Every structure is written in structure tokens, then in C-alpha cells.
Amino acid sequence: MKSPYLLRKRNGIYQYKLAHEKTYHSTFEKNRTRAERFVIENLTGTAPEKPLTEIILSAFASDFFLLDTCSFIAKKTSKGKEITKEMAQMRRGHLHNHILPKFGKRIMKSITKSDIDEWLIHYQGIANRTKNHIIDTIRIIWDEAVDRGVIKENPMRSIEKFANNSKDRDIFTREEMHRLFPRCIDELRSIWGSLKYASLFTVLATTGIREGEALALTWDDWVIKGDSSVLLIKKSVKNDRRIGSTKNKKERISHVNSHTSAVLEMWRNESEYSNGDELIFPNLIGEPLQRKSCLKNFHKGLEKAQVVIGERNIVVHSLRHGFNTLYRTILGDEALQKFTGHSSKDMTSHYDHPSIDDRIALLSKYHQVFDQTWQEKVLKSGS
């Protein structure tokens, strides 16, 4: 006999829906047997009333910002307000990477404005702009909690946002890059703690691809042709750890130099996941690495190489900025955009961090033009 309901598990919580329904509902249970009992009791009308005010955050928000199941998104869509896939993924990333690790096990009514405020004030490693986005995400969830009777009012509405302290990305000096990426692979492994992270950060530094694009690479995406090889950039790991399209939704290739190829080959020989369709940079169970794990190992590498950040805005993405800066004068804007996936010359310029000497060298070929134009158009006409 066909079951009158479907059951699935999302983020540790079982959800169900009836055969005629499109939206899943939470059982608030982590155990399958208890979840099935919950569904059957609800269908037969024998389920005891579950106090909504005792619901923990992870259970309440288990399906939030998932396009196919989130009731908040369904409600907005029914009112003609579009929630884009990118926006949903960003909100889901806030929830999965920041909010739930801190407050997921707590009963919603026990989480106060002061709790959130103090947490964000002392939350290191993220910009104020990101903190403000997290506040917006929290407000949305708590507004839904009010609508569903979980809490009486949304205290998060009165949280004051942070001042915008965003700064341009900084890049490593040539000497720092030399220490971070030594030619000897054993030394490289020592800097980054493992060959996996040594390979990951070498790929980012030498190809300029985005972190999410690197985390989505499979071994089939590394194509070797004779003495050269390329990476096929077709996918990207999003903030909620799902694999989707690249940022501009276009595919491209990126050249892999001989040193990076050697590092990748050695890593493939060590990796437990070396089949063509498996990720090049997986976690212990073969799924995409979390960005916070990458950031943690990134800082360990900087410490090992004795690279001091100081007041500079150095992050993993700085490797992409450094690649852009190093190769822009060599490749030119048009060619560089094909490798980086930038959609405009302005974006390529944004990623450029030339030194004073680089700027002088770049402009030297125009000196004669400037001098001749000034002589002919200004000095000569005035004589």
C-alpha cells in the first residue's frame, strides 16, 4: 500500500508532506521513528499539542531559504515578490555558516536581542557589511516566528546595524608569495599543513579562480593535453554548500602551470577520492570543503610562513586579486578577463593592485605621446 505521506531529512530534522502537497512540514524530530509517529498522530488527529514556544531554532528554520520548500519564500512569491536563487542562497549561507552554529540548539523564545548584539559585536573575521546582512536574515526568521505564534514579538527589529567598514582587498608582496608558495613541494606541504590545502591554495594563487569554483572542481575538470593542462570552470560551491553555476553563469577554462600540475598530480596520488567524478578538494566524506575550514587553514599557513597581515585586508580572495595584479600587464585586460571570468574591464581594474614601479613601467610607453601632445596642442599654439 502506498504511503499517504513522504518523509525526508534536512539539516538533521525530518520533514513530511502529504501526497497532494507541494510543501514539506517539519516534524521537529531528529529520530526517524519518532518523526513517523509524529506524522501518523497528526494524520489521525491523536497527536498531542506541541508547545510552539519550546521549538529550538534549528528545527524551526530547517527549511528556511530553500526555494522548493521554504514557506516564507512561497508566501513572498504568492504576493508577487521575487526571491532570487542567489538571494536565497546568500540567506541560507548566513543561517548555515553563522546563525545556527551559535544559536541552533537554543529555544527561540530564549534568544534575546542582547544575545545577538553581543555575539555580532565580538564576532571576529567578518566585515560589518556581512554582519548587517546577517541581521537582516535574523529579522526575517524572527518575523516568521511571530507570524506562526512561536514568539510574541520580534526583538531583533530594534538591533542597530554596524557602520560600513568595508575596505579594498590587499595582496601579498612578491617576497610573501615566495614564502607561502615555495618551489619544493615538501616545503609547500609543510607551510599549508597537508598536500590537499597546499594544492588548493596553489591553484587559487596560480589560476585566479574563485574559492567556490575551486571547491567544486572534480578530477574530470582537470584536462591534460600533452605538456599543458587546463581547469574547466563550470560550477561553484555556494554559501549553503550546494553546487551551482559560476558567478556569471558562464563556463571558462583556466591555464594550469607546470608547477601547479605537479602539485595536483602528487595530491591525486594521495587522495582517497581520485576518481574522475570525485571532488579534487573534498572533506573527509567526499563532500565540498566548508569555507570556514579553508579560512582556518589559510591563517595557519600565513602563521607558518611568518606572513604578518597587520592592518591589511588579507583574505583567501586576496590570492585572486594577486593573480589579477601579476598578470594584467602581461596578458592585457581582454585576455585576463577570459581567465578570471570578470564581466567587465572595470571589475578587472578593481582587482588590480600595482606597485609604484609597476605603474611607472606601465605608463612609460605613453610618455612620448603625452609630451608630443602637450608640445603640439598647448605649447606650440601659444607661441
Considering the domain boundaries, does residue 133 fall inside one?
Answer: yes
Q: What is the dihedral of CA 279, 9, 138, 247, to 10 degrees?
A: 30
| pLDDT tier, 346 (very low <50, low <70, confident <90, very high otherwise) | low
- Asked if residue 191 and residue 79 are part of one domain, the reply reads no
User: Which pLDDT band, with edges at 50, 70 and 90, does 224 fall under?
Assistant: confident
CATH of the domain at 262: 1.10.443.10
- The whole-model pTM stands at 0.56
Regarding whether 227 and 124 lie in a shared domain, the answer is no
- Statement to judge: residues 112 and 64 lie in one domain: yes
Does 194 fall in a domain? yes
- Residue range 7-55, pLDDT digits in tens: 888 767 788 877 667 777 777 777 787 777 777 766 655 545 555 567 8
Compute the distance between CA of residue 246 and CA of residue 253 in angstroms, rounded to an integer: 12
For 262-292, write each residue's pLDDT tens digit.
Answer: 999 999 999 999 999 999 999 999 999 988 8
Question: What is the per-residue pLDDT for 114?
Answer: 92
Q: Look at residue 248 and tell me if it is in a domain.
A: yes
- What pLDDT score was predicted for residue 347? 47
Arithmetic mean of pLDDT, 149-160: 86
- Please report whether residue 372 resides in a domain: no
- Whether residue 359 lies inside any domain: the answer is no
Please indicate, yes or no, whether residues 202 and 127 belong to a single structural domain of this protein. Answer: no
Q: How confident is the model at residue 379 (pLDDT cuts 50, 70, 90)?
A: very low
Cβ 104 vs Cβ 130: under 8 Å: no
- Same-domain check for residues 184 and 320: yes
Distance between CA atoms of residues 63 and 22, nearest Å: 13
In the predicted model, is pLDDT for residue 324 greater than 60? yes
Mark which of 100, 135, 166 sits at the end of a domain: 166
Last residue of a domain, one of 116, 136, 166: 166
User: Over 60: is that where the pLDDT of 297 sits?
Assistant: yes
Burial 94-109 (b: 16+ CB within 10 A, else e): bbbbbbbeebbeebbe
Specify the amino acid at residue 150: V
For 65-80, the pLDDT digits (tens) are 887 778 788 888 888 8
pLDDT of residue 367: 46
- pLDDT at position 135 is 94
Give the angle 206-208-212 at the CA atoms, nearest 5°: 120
* 374 lies in some domain: no
In which domain, by residue range, is 25 found?
A: 1-47
Q: What does the block give as the cell for 130?
A: 556581512
What does the pLDDT read at residue 19? Answer: 67
Query: 17 in a domain, yes or no?
Result: yes
pLDDT, tens digit, 9 for 90 and up, residues 174-188: 889 889 999 899 999
CA distance 208 to 349: 14
* 140 and 288 inside one domain: no
For residue 350, is pLDDT > 80?
A: no
Domain boundary among 166, 199, 217: 166
Residues 132 and 236 in one domain: no
Handedness of CA 330, 332, 333, 337 (dihedral sign): negative
- Amino acid letter at 305? A
Query: In whole numbers, what is the pLDDT of the chain averaged over residues?
Result: 80
- Per the structure, how many domains does the chain have? 3
